[in-house]
Amino acid sequence: MQIVSSPIVELKKAAVALGQGNMTARVKKGTILFRDEIADLKDTFNSMANQIASHQMILEHKVGISIVFLMKTLSVSHTHQAASLVNSAMF
């Protein structure tokens, strides 16, 4: 039973780690001699983990761009408000 439970335990640990935010969590590939459903499940898990990590990187990049845009917008807005105050004080 150890032959079957060990890969399942490994898969569970990797799934928990991925769920906790460890985007590098992967399972070891089995040997070519033992190509079975467990090996296919490991491959599928690793593929899913790669896709999740890729999507997270894309989202983080988009958030970074949004933050820069908002900071520039706020900066311009404050500059315009200050200019308006100066102009109204002068006239």
* DSSP tag of 23: T
pLDDT on residue 74: 82
- Mean pLDDT for 38-64 is 94
Mean pLDDT of 41-52: 94
Contact 42, 28 (CB under 8 A): yes
The answer to whether 39 and 29 are in contact (CB under 8 A) is: yes
pTM over 0.75: no
Closest CA to 11 of 33, 32, 30: 30
